Amino acid sequence: MDYRCISADCHIVWPDSQACIRKQFGHLPADVPRKMTCANVGKFYGLIPA
């Protein structure tokens, strides 16, 4: 059984993670949320070339 992920700011994160990310990081330039949610982790684990 899948359980929804809970966040203090967005309450329910999954399956609405994109809306939650926009709500929390929408005031930042577009490249910053991408780095925070994808690029930095991908580079760290070698999934995205550095």
pLDDT digits (tens, 9 = 90+) for 7-17: 556 566 677 78
Is pLDDT above 70 for 38? yes
Distances (CA, A) of 32 to 2, 3, 5, 44: 29, 28, 23, 16
pLDDT of amino acid 24: 86
pLDDT of amino acid 36: 87
Is pLDDT above 80 for 2? no
- Alpha carbon distance 9, 31 (integer Å): 21
Query: 11-42 burial by CB neighbour count: b if 16+ within 10 A, else e?
Result: eebeeeeeebbeebeeeeeeeebeeeeeeeee
pTM (two decimals): 0.56
